[in-house]
Amino acid sequence: MQAGTSLSCDVLVIGGGATGAGVLFDLAQRGLRVILAEQNDVATGTSGRYHGLLHSGGRYAVRDPESARECIEENWIVRRIAPHTIEDTGGWFVAFPPDDPSYIPRWLEGCKAVGIPTEPVSVAQALKEEPHLNPRAYAVYRVPDAACDSFELIHTLIEAAAALGGKTLNYHRVCAIEKAGGKVIGALLENRRTGGYVRVHASAIVNAAGPWAGEIAKLAGANIHMTHDRGVMVAMNVRWVNTIINRLAPPGDGDILVPVGTVCVIGTTSVVVDRPDDVDIPAHEVTQMLDAGEVMIPNFRKARALRAWAGVRPLYDPPQKREGEAEGGVGEDGRFITRSFRALSHADVGAAGMLSIVGGKLTTYRQMAEKISDEVCAYLGVQAPCRTAETPLPKPTWFGGSGRKLHALTHRLHQLEHAPTHSNLICECEIVTRSQLEAAIRASGEGVSLDDLRRDLRLGMGPCQAGFCGYRAAGVLGETAHLPPARSIEALAAFIEERFRGNRPLLWGHQLRQALLDEMIYRRALGVPALQSEAHVAAD
Amino acid sequence: MDDLLIIGAGWAGLSAAAFALHLKPNAKIRVIAQGIGSLIVTPGWLSLLDSAQGDVIEAARDLAARSPEHPYALAGVEALTGAVHLFAQIGAEIGLGYQAEQPLHNKQVLTALGKHQTAAVLPYGYQGATQAGVQPLFVGFEGWRDYYPALSGAHFTLVAPPISERPWDLTPTDYARYFDQPHFRAEVARLVKARLNGATSVAFPAVLGLEHHAEVVQTLQDRLGVPVFELPTLPPSVPGTRLYNKLRRYLLDRRVRLQVGHPVVRGVREGKRVTGVEVAAAGKPQFFGAKAVILATGNLYGGGLFSDDHGRVWEGIFNLPVQHIPDRQAWFSAQMLAPEGHAVHYFGVRANAHLQPLDASGAPFAENLFVAGHILAHPTDAPSPFETSEGVALATAYRAVQMALMQP
């Protein structure tokens, strides 16, 4: 493997999720030269596959007080430093039959112990504020939950770091960690779009690869005992509530409902899986989510399920801890492992200077970044203190410095209504115009996939799931990027399969009918050929 | 009371009404439908058995012999032949083409992605595709979102549509209405002629006229001097809309009662006979009585069958049992474009050789209820139902009409 290019920096950060982006910004702010390497696009792992909840910590107040405390501390900080990524919906913990009333005093006590403010709400008041709530609810408490857009947060951190010289390489996979004299000296990266190699010389390496942390550690000869815990989430096309609803009961399946933009997201399950990329969605887990939704919101499943996705929680599960487990044990269900985080050094395997950060929640990304950055600085002998808790993050600029928030449907409607565009609507569900699509294609450079454009623009994320806009976007991509027809058609086939992967578990009723319509368009009217290599689909 | 009540106005329902007119000219016929079913997305050609090499009818006969539960076997290949020739006769009368030669062979047509598809009987717009030659010129319209000729082939051009309104966000139907105007098609022909550059044929998206399709194709061919053909577009399908409009006019002119937009909410059965249906109306459902009823409401896509997240599948009007797999995980293959298709395509109502739907015990649900079209189950070893899509609709419509008109 010959490295075509070589780069050098003080610290190489591996993983473009919230933690990696947080470390990139933290270290850049401390004056270090930092490079972040991400194997896909940023925010496509666990951070991009969550339900959109900035935890108050209430979910963990009884069983996992350490994590609960971290959540509430960071909740206040994230609200302060990145308010533009947050919709302050507030949250409730609500007990419904058959939830055990004896859990309530334990929960209140747990919240009090770690400093989570709770305020009782009368059921009558709750039903006034949220008329869709199941009227059989018997106890309601207000907590400081919020909805948080992780894409927005991560892009904000990456832009803020870039302004300080922090560099992000997406679609770069780490294929080797290089060591000399008992310490790490750099890594070899493969550019997955061009197939070329990049050698990065670094004095320290931070492994923030989330569920892939075990694989990355292995490259340095270290062994981290990770548990991959898969959770399924389902987005419904109705914003049933304006407040986040948590079940006031021990953590269980489908106990959180988060309003996000025009939809709401219910989550989640907890199933231990073998691989970090096992994001399959069994049909019965979706039905389980809908059943759980019915408990909180009667007729929940009458709304249309738009999209299901699964994220793999990177839980740190040190073998010695398993002995003293109090309740249950780790089996099918990863709920008994702490959601707290750990920083691990790999000096013992001759990889001094490589540190792994494992476990944790999106809510606590900053604290995780602070802790690992402190250790990196200690190793490098750098004296700079962490200032991320006090530094407000600038709003990102996005395409053409417009400063607009990504993914906001209402904002786009407003723009169109106030300045009728001289441009086609390509994706009618999400109001994506041809000029927006062209700008995004030009900004993304060579090898951009329709799925990359989807994350930038929300292309194909509405009810038709790319049935209509997939072909149009492939046409615009071909014209704008001057692709040969075969490449545009392959991009279309890859996009169709990517959309289908998240849609397939939701195919019944109207959504099934929609999929059959899409299939008739692709298969009969257009004759889209089946994707040749399945590896391509998996990679996207 | 009507002699024949047909529920559904897609391929099967409309054809059934037209066939009934020919088989019993004085019959009182009524069609009640919620919408126009798959006509809105159909390419508009007739797929009878796309994989057939040689004589398509003979291949269908082999299929029926091999697979006794296949709709072709239930309806009989004579019904397929009768239906195709009667449809071709009506297709010529309504000015859309659909000539069926004997023996019938499959033809290759082209799509907007430059891919070949197969069909046995073509309306005018696709006939030129069989003479596309070595260098077809693909023509699109500047700024139009629904067709990108660069994806169709090496020789393509974009012409500015000669219209005064802003061209963006126009639907295929809007373009088809423009082509109905003589000056528009003349101007397009002039623009394209200047760019022919040795082209052996010219392809347009399937928007060549809504009311005057044959004339549009003829004018363009005359002016350009080479074969002209259409490529199917994103919905709404203009070839499907043409067919609906023309058949509707044809039926109304012959005193068929056609009520589209009126959902049937319930079928009424007394003893072994269906007496009629209830239709949603202001105030309370309205009853329509009939001597015989043909259920042509379509499959899970068409709107005749329904499903839920527990894996249940049901028929919406008579609550007929539906042949399906209860495990929802098995409904779809792992990939949308998997060559083997999806198990859901085969779900449907089971019927006997009279096309009477069967109840849970396997007996006819009623003496005078018949099923036609894609509401019928396909045996799991059958070729993809897409391959026989229009063939099954027409053959079962023909057979169901024959049976229904024999009712006392």
pLDDT of residue A214: 94
Please, which residues 158-187 of chain B have a Cβ atom closer than 8 Å to chain A?
166, 168-169
Exposed / middle / buried, residue B363 (Cβ in 10 Å: 0-12, 13-18, 19+): exposed
In Å, what is the CA distance from A372 to each residue of A145, A386, B161, B284?
Answer: 26, 11, 61, 70
Residue among A433, A459, A508 with most chain B CBs within 10 A, to mutate: A508
Residues 45-104 of B with CB under 8 A from A: none
Contact list, A515 vs chain B (CB under 8 Å): 332, 336
The minimal CB distance from A424 to the residues B112, B114, B143 is found for B143
User: Residue A145's pLDDT is what?
Assistant: 97
pLDDT at A326 over 90: no
Mean pLDDT value across residues A316-326: 53
Q: What are phi and psi of B343, to 5 degrees?
A: -60, -30
Residues B24-72 have pLDDT tens digits of 989 999 999 998 888 999 999 999 999 999 999 999 999 999 999 999 9
Instruction: State the average pLDDT over residues A226-242.
Output: 93
Query: What confidence score (pLDDT) does residue A323 get?
Result: 39
Residue A319 has pLDDT above 90, yes or no: no
Instruction: Return the CATH class of domain B2-11+26-102+241-320+347-404.
Output: alpha beta
3-state helix, strand, coil in chain B (%, to 5): 30, 20, 45
Q: What are phi and psi of A90, to 5 degrees?
A: 70, 165
Question: What are the Cα distances from residue A318, in Å, to A226, A322, A359, A471?
Answer: 8, 7, 11, 48
pLDDT digits (tens, 9 = 90+) for A449-508: 998 888 878 888 888 888 999 999 999 999 999 999 999 999 999 999 999 988 999 999
Q: What percent of chain A has pLDDT over 70?
A: 90
Question: Given A488, A512, A521, which is nearest B235 (Cβ)?
Answer: A521
CB atoms within 10 A of CB B406: 11
Residue A12 identity:
L
Mean per-residue pLDDT of chain A: 89
Q: Identify the pLDDT of residue A425.
A: 87
Of A284, A422, A530, which has the smallest distance from its Cβ to B339's Cβ?
A530
In DSSP notation, A341-354 reads EEEEE-GGGT-BTE
* Burial of residue B165, with CB atoms counted within 10 A of its CB: 0-12 exposed, 13-18 middle, 19 or more buried: exposed
Put simply, whether B113 touches A (Cβ < 8 Å) is yes
**pLDDT, greater one: A313 or A536:** A313
Class of domain A86-145+229-323: alpha beta
> Which amino acid does the sequence have at A94?
V
Q: What are the sequence ranges of the domains in chain A?
A: 86-145+229-323, 403-539
A476 and B148: CB-CB below 8 Å? yes
pLDDT of residue A422: 56
Q: Rounded to the nearest 10 degrees, what angle do helices B172-179 and B238-253 cross at?
A: 60
**For residue A405, pLDDT beyond 60:** no
* Euclidean distance between CA atoms B182 and B184, whole angstroms: 5
* Domain-wise residue ranges, chain B: 2-11+26-102+241-320+347-404, 133-226
Any idea what DSSP says for residue A530?
P
Taking residues A161-180, report their average pLDDT. 96
Interface touch A287/B310, C-beta < 8 Å: yes
**Rounded average pLDDT over B140-163:** 93
- Note which residues in 250-289 of chain B have CB less than 8 A from chain A: none
pLDDT, mean of residues A153-170: 95
**How high is the pLDDT of residue A399?**
46
Summarize the confidence of residues A398-404 as an average pLDDT: 48
pLDDT at B36: 86
How distant, in Å, are the alpha carbons of A124, A388, B66, B331 from that of A132? Answer: 12, 40, 55, 32
Q: Which of B145, B303, B331 sits opposite A434 (nearest CB)?
A: B145
pLDDT above 50 (res B389): yes
pLDDT on residue B381: 93
Q: What is the mean pLDDT of residues B80-97?
A: 96
**Yes or no, beta carbons of B337 and A474 under 8 Å apart:** no
What integer pLDDT is reported at residue A412 of this predicted model? 66
| pLDDT tens per residue across span A368-388 | 999 999 999 999 999 999 999
pLDDT at residue number A327: 37
A276 pLDDT more than 60: yes
B91: closest CA among B36, B45, B23, B27?
B45
Residue A336 or residue A295, greater confidence: A295
